Amino acid sequence: MNVDNTLEIDIKVEVSHVAEQSDPEAHRYAFAYTITISNLGQKAARLLRRRWVITDSNGKVQEVRGKGVVGEQPHIQPGEYFQYTSGAVIETAVGTMEGVYEMVTNDGHDFLAPIPRFTLSIPRTLH
């Protein structure tokens, strides 16, 4: 397999529970996540679309697709990063999210940047 290390995108995630928007009696658990997308490669890239798979601990799956992120299609130069915060609501106190960003270089090369699975969890639920 040929690996193109000119297209190295690093994705980091920080998650927090949003208690004031959650209602456990109504099976509503809100989470905020901050994503940092760093371009560690040698080519500029634009984030065109996103695809998320959100799974709660009951096995309920939500799939979310859309253009860009938070209303933007950021163009990330080599050595730069783009950071944004968004949110998700699930029916259980614990769940996971994972996905992929569809990206394109300035010269028209489409590629996928996988978003590693991360956990959504209210405090003191997981050890």
d(CA 93, CA 123): 9
Is 35 in contact with 47 (CB distance < 8 Å)?
no
For residue 16, give the H/E element and its range.
strand 9-17
> Cα(74)–Cα(53) distance, rounded to whole angstroms?
21
Tell me the per-residue pLDDT of 11-26, one tens digit each, with 9 for 90 and over.
999 999 999 999 999 9
Torsion on CA atoms 70, 72, 78, 82, rounded to nearest 10? -30
In the numeric block, which tokens belong to residue 12?
Answer: 């980091």
Topology classification of domain 9-121: Immunoglobulin-like (2.60.40)
In whole angstroms, what is the distance from residue 90 CA to residue 76 CA? 31
What is the separation of C-alpha 116 from the centre of its chain, rounded to a whole number of angstroms? 8
61-92 pLDDT, tens digit each? 999 999 999 999 999 999 999 999 999 999 99
Q: Could you tell me the residue ranges of all domains in the chain?
A: 9-121
User: Would the pLDDT of 4 be above 80?
Assistant: no
